[in-house]
Amino acid sequence: MVENRRYRNILAYLVLAVGVVIVAFPVYLAILASTFDAATIINGNMPLVPGDQAAINYSRTLFVGASRTSREPVGLMMMNSFIMAMGIAVGKIFISVLSAYAVVYFRFPFRKTAFWVIFITLMLPVEVRIYPTYKIVADLGLLDTYTGLILPLIASATGTLLFRQFFMTIPDELLEASKIDGAGPFRFFKDTLIPLSITTIAALFVIQFIYGWNQYLWPLLITTKSSMQTIVIGIKKMITTQDALTEWQIAMTTAVLAMLPPVLVVVFMQRLFVKGLVETEK
C-alpha cells in the first residue's frame, strides 16, 4: 500500500508539473522576450535565459511606446486602464452595496419589481446591449472620456445580487439591537453592515478590477484618441502592423506590464480576503 501511494503521489505531481509548465511557459517566454532586443527575438533563436536589454525595453515601453503603431507611451495606457478598472470596481461596489441595502432593508412600493429589474440585467452583458449603449454614450458626448469608459460597465446586477445574498444572512436581531442602540439607517449601514461586508467587498473588488482591466470591446468602440487607449488595446495595435516589423520586444514588455496590476491586486487582496474569511462570524 505504501509503495502504491508513493507511486500515485509521483504521478499526481507529474501531472501537476506538466500543467504548470503548460500554463507558465508562455508567461515565462513573454518575460524572457522583454529582456532581448528585436533582432534576437525575430531571428528565431531566442535563448531560454534572460538577456540584458530589460532596462532599455522597460523604460522605452513605459515612457515612449512602440514607435510606429500605437505611438503612445505604455505608462499612459496603464494609467488609462487603471483609471477605468478602478472606476468600474469602486463604482460597482458603491452602487451595488447601496442598492442591495435598499432592496433588503427597506419596504418601499415595487421593491420586488425593482429587485427583478436589477436581476434581469444579468441577462444583458455589454456585448448584447452594445449598440444602444454606444448610442446613449455618444449622445451624451461621453466618447473618449473616462466617464464613458466606466459608466456603462458599472451597471450590472452581479454585485447587487452578491450583497443581497450576504445581507440576507445577517440576523435581524443585529438590526434590532442597532435600533435600540439608537443607530438610524445610515449608522447601521456604516457601523455594522459595511464592516461585516469587507470580505464580500474585497472579493467583488478583485473580480471587478480584473474585469475592468481586461475590457477590450468597449474601449475599442468608444475611444478613438490614441491618448485614451487602454493597455489591452495598445498590445493589439502593436502586434498588428501593416508595412513594418512588429516590435516584439516592446509588445512583450507591454504584455508583462499588462499582467502586473491584476496579479498585484489578487496577491494583495487575497490576504485581506483570507483574513476576512477567517474572522467572519455573525
Partner 1 sequence: MAGVTLDTVKKVYAGNVEAVKGVSLGIDDGSFCVLVGPSGCGKSTLLRMIAGLETISGGAVKIGNRVVNEVEPSDRDIAMVFQNYALYPHMSVYDNMAYGLKNRGTPKPEIEKRVKEAARILAIEPFLDRKPRQLSGGQRQRVAMGRAIVRKPQVFLFDEPLSNLDAKLRVQMRVEIKRLQRALGVTSIYVTHDQVEAMTLSDKLVVMSGGQIEQVGTPAEVYRRPETRFVATFIGSPPMNILPGKVEGPGRVSIGDQMITVTDMKDGLTPGSAIEVGLRPEDVQAGTAGASTLTMDVDFVEELGATQLFHGKVAGAAFVVQASTGQIPADASHLALSIDPANVHLFDPQTTKRLGRI
Binding site for partner 1 (CB under 8 A): 171, 173-174, 176-177, 179-183, 187, 191-192, 195-196, 279-282
Residues contacting 277, CB < 8 A, separation 6+: 199
The angle that helices 248-279 and 231-239 make with each other, rounded to 10 degrees, is 150
* CB distance 80 to 230 below 8 Å: yes
CB of 201 to partner 1, least distance (A): 13
CB of 175 to partner 1, least distance (A): 9
- Taking the least distance from each CB to partner 1, the nearer of 44 and 171 is 171
Which residue shows C-alpha cell 455589454?
126
CB of 174 to partner 1, least distance (A): 5
**DSSP character at residue 48:** S
Angstrom distance (rounded) from CA 97 to CA 22: 39
* CB distance 100 to 200 below 8 Å: no
- Taking the least distance from each CB to partner 1, the nearer of 128 and 191 is 191
CB of 198 to partner 1, least distance (A): 8
What letter represents residue 196's amino acid? L
- Taking the least distance from each CB to partner 1, the nearer of 105 and 146 is 105
- Taking the least distance from each CB to partner 1, the nearer of 177 and 263 is 177
Angstrom distance (rounded) from CA 15 to CA 17: 5
* CB distance 158 to 206 below 8 Å: no
CB of 173 to partner 1, least distance (A): 4
- Taking the least distance from each CB to partner 1, the nearer of 8 and 187 is 187
Quote the cell numbers at residue 257.
506590464
